[in-house]
Each structure stands twice: as C-alpha cells, then as structure tokens.
Chain A
Amino acid sequence: MNDPGKEISRLAFDERGADYLLAVREEYGNAGPAFVAKGEDVGDIRTDIPYQLVTILRKIYPYMEDGKIAVVIRRCEEKALNELIKRGIIDGDRIIRIGLACSEGQIEACRCTDPVPSCVDIGSPGKGWNEDQLSKELSAMSSEERLDFWVAQFRKCNKCYACSTNCPVCVCDHCVLEECTFVAEKGIPPGMAFHLIRAYHLSDKCTECGECERSCPAHIPLLTFRKMTNRDMKDLYGYESGDTETVSPLLTTLEGDLLEEEED
C-alpha cells in the first residue's frame, strides 16, 4: 500500500467494523493524536507514532460509552493493552487492533527485543535487538560504581512526572509518588526513592516501550533501569508482562493460587 492512512481506515472501518479510529495524524505540520469517527475524513495519518497511543486510549476510554475503537498499535502498545485488559481497565472486546511493525530506527531507539506485533497490517517486521549495551555494562560494574552511576543520573531528575504521565501502564488512581510520605513536596531532585518506587511498581507491568526515557527532559536512562528490573522479574518468577492470561506473581500465593481481591 502506498498510502498507509487509506489502508488503516479501510482496515478499521470497512473490514473490521470499528466505529472510531485512534491514530496519529499530521495537522499544520505537527503530529498529534486523532480520534476519528466512522465516515469522517481520516486526514494525513502517520505511521511513525511518536508516543504511546494506548496511554491516550486509556485516558479517553472512560468517556467512550459505546462503540468499537480501532487503535494503531505496535508490539509494546499491544502488550500494554493486554496488561490493561488483564487488570479490567479496558474491555478487550471493544478494541480493534491494527498492527504496525516498527521501523529499524524505532527499534534501535528502544533497544527493543520484541518488535513484531502478533498481527502485522502495516509496515514490514524488523529484527529485534539482543541486548541493551548499557545494562550489560552496569551489570559488569561493582555495586559501588553502579550506585554512583545511578545517583549521578537521578540527580538530574526535576520531578516533572513526565515518566509516569506518559506511561501506558501507570494506572493507579492515587499515585504514591504524589504523597509527601514518599516524595518530599518541596525541592528537586526528588531523591532516589522516587525512581526506586517507580521501578518496583512497574516491575510486573512494564512493557519496555521506552516512553519514560523518551519523555524524560533530563535524559535519564530509565529504559535501561526498566529492562534490568524486568530481567529480575523473569529470573525470579519467570514472569513476563504483556499477555492477557498470566497473572502477576505479586498477586498470587507461593503455590500460584490467586489471592483474594484487594479492596480499596
């Protein structure tokens, strides 16, 4: 297909029966999210999506009472969507997926190990990376060197909350990072606790989309930290986020039975 926009709208509205389409399009020289109803002009749809559409889907979903929503998703967004469906935040039956394979440049930016969505509609599948160079270097360091590295990195943080705002799987209603118990109200940088708490909270749902790193104005290598935490989770419990069936090991007993529901 030479025009991906036409192809996406054909797939969404004609072939798969969607009522709305969520994609990224170009308007007045800027790329922005577009929410198009059936029958409207889709405009100049872009396939180099600059951020996570699932984050936007999650934020508009509570206001969408009916209708099927088609979303253009890459592999990381697909995994994030699965995590949201698993946690009951989004009804999976109402979402229609249009798979988009990442370009080489995007794969390189995320050091992505798993770039191909389960159903590729647009683009050609690229090859994933094997390993994140920085996390390899960090693992080879002594623990003092590693601490020095992260302290220097986390000192750059200006507590803008971009990492948690743009995160597709940051789903709590009340964020503990906004409580003064854990992160001081005044003063920047917020300290090491901010980032360690985020690492712990995302350990069973991070999909390694790299949005935290890309949106960080201080260029803290957060994606590397996420990758290291995910690797730990895999080593400890053999758990990988990103499907609708596997329950997070933090929500099961030692024998693997489901814990009772937590009440708010």
Chain B
Amino acid sequence: MTDFKPSILAFCCNWCSYAGADLAGVSRLQMPPNVHVIRVMCSASVKPEYVIKAVTQGIDGVLVLGCHIGDCHYLTGNHRTAKRIPLLQKILDEAGIDSRRIKLDWVSAAEGEKYQKVVTEFVEEIRRLGPNPLREVRF
C-alpha cells in the first residue's frame, strides 16, 4: 500500500519529550509529517483510556514518549507509564489489535535526533502494518 498515510498520535511529556521534539524541529531534522503531537505534563498523565479511545476510533498508531527512567520531573511518573503501557499492549493484543500500534519510548530534552529516529521508525512500522482495522468497523 503505497498511498497509505498513517495518522499517528504522539503524547509527549512537557519536560523532556516535548522539548526533544522542539529541538528536533529547531534543528531542522527531516521527519514524516504524519505525527500529531499532544503535549501532556507527564507521560503518566496519559491515561490508558485515552490510548484505547484513540485506537478504537481509528488512529493508526499511538506513541507515548516520556523522560528516561530516573529523570522524571515528578520522580516516579514514568514508572507508572512503564507499568501500564505493556499491560495495555497485551490487552489490545487479546482483543485482536496489533500491539505494535502502541509504542512507549523515552526521549530526553537533548535527544532531538532520537526523537527523529523514533518517529521515523514508528511511521515506517505502521506503514508496514497497514491501516487500523477498526477504522472500517462501524459499531
């Protein structure tokens, strides 16, 4: 499928990943334009419900980006995320939604290049997976 343009949500934490995304932009790094960035105060404020809602409404992929473990502005916020997202991936897998559509990664404020790499690879992976099957499903 060559003309498939995935739409992807990226939840970026205010303190690290959003600054990292900003740095990637300021540094003029080339990135696929499919990613919609949502700024959240901490990766732990990304309720799994939000991810579930996005996926069931037809978003092709969800990126959750936070500070590296130990660097969280709220000390243990990203520990929560690190526990929740793998479980969420498993639950989605049981329901038949490919768990690769959800990705958790750590991007610090200084890692503009890592942000570019994560986004590029994720968009490539979603392009291989194809559109979200739930986009076609009408409840």
User: Taking beta carbons and an 8 Å cutoff, which residues of A are in contact with B?
Assistant: 138, 143-151, 154-155, 176, 181-182, 189-193, 195-197, 199-200, 203, 225, 228-229, 232-233, 235-237, 249-250, 252-254, 259-260
Give complex CA distance A259, B86 in Å.
18
Give complex CA distance A200, B53 in Å.
12
List residues of chain B with CB within 8 A of the CB of A203: 87, 91
- State how many residues of chain B have any CB contact under 8 Å with chain A: 29
Could you tell me the dominant secondary structure of chain B's interface residues?
helix
Known pairs A236-B87, A249-B83, A250-B84; A200 contacts B96 (CB<8 A): no
List residues of chain A with CB within 8 A of the CB of B57: 193
Give complex CA distance A19, B52 in Å.
46
Among B79, B92, B96, which residue has its beta carbon within 8 angstroms of that of A148? B96
Question: Which residue, B88, B92, B96, B137, has most C-beta atoms of chain A within 10 A?
Answer: B96
Query: In the complex, are the beta carbons of B88 and A144 less than 8 A apart?
Result: no
Query: In the complex, are the beta carbons of A144 and B133 less than 8 A apart?
Result: yes
- B98-139 vs A, CB cutoff 8 Å, 1 = contact: the mask equals 100000000000000000000000000000000001100101
Query: In the complex, are the beta carbons of B133 and A147 less than 8 A apart?
Result: yes
Query: In the complex, are the beta carbons of B91 and A200 less than 8 A apart?
Result: yes
Show 26 A/B contacts (Cβ-Cβ < 8 Å), sorted by A. A143-B93, A143-B96, A144-B133, A146-B95, A176-B49, A181-B49, A182-B52, A192-B56, A192-B134, A193-B52, A193-B53, A193-B56, A195-B95, A196-B56, A196-B95, A197-B52, A200-B91, A225-B95, A232-B87, A236-B86, A252-B83, A253-B79, A254-B69, A254-B82, A259-B76, A260-B76
Question: Which residue, A148, A200, A236, has most C-beta atoms of chain B within 10 A?
Answer: A200
Query: In the complex, are the beta carbons of B82 and A143 less than 8 A apart?
Result: no
Output the least CB separation between B135 and chain A (Å): 12
Q: Which residue of A lies closest to B88 (CB)?
A: A200
Known pairs A155-B139, A196-B56; A182 contacts B49 (CB<8 A): yes
B90 close to A (CB within 8 Å): yes
Query: In the complex, are the beta carbons of B52 and A200 less than 8 A apart?
Result: yes
Give complex CA distance A233, B133 in Å.
25
B97 close to A (CB within 8 Å): yes
Q: Which residue of A lies closest to B69 (CB)?
A: A254
Q: Which residue of B lies closest to A188 (CB)?
A: B139
List residues of chain A with CB within 8 A of the CB of B91: 196, 199-200, 203, 229, 232
12 additional A-B residue pairs with CB within 8 Å, beyond A147-B95, A181-B53, A250-B80: A138-B94, A143-B97, A151-B139, A191-B139, A192-B134, A199-B94, A199-B95, A200-B91, A232-B87, A235-B90, A250-B83, A252-B79
Among A154, A229, A253, which residue has its beta carbon within 8 angstroms of that of B76? A253
- B57-77 vs A, CB cutoff 8 Å, 1 = contact: the mask equals 100000000000100000010
Q: Which residue of A lies closest to B99 (CB)?
A: A143
Output the least CB separation between B11 and chain A (Å): 16
B48 close to A (CB within 8 Å): yes
Query: In the complex, are the beta carbons of B96 and A150 less than 8 A apart?
Result: yes
List residues of chain A with CB within 8 A of the CB of B88: 200
Give complex CA distance A260, B48 in Å.
20
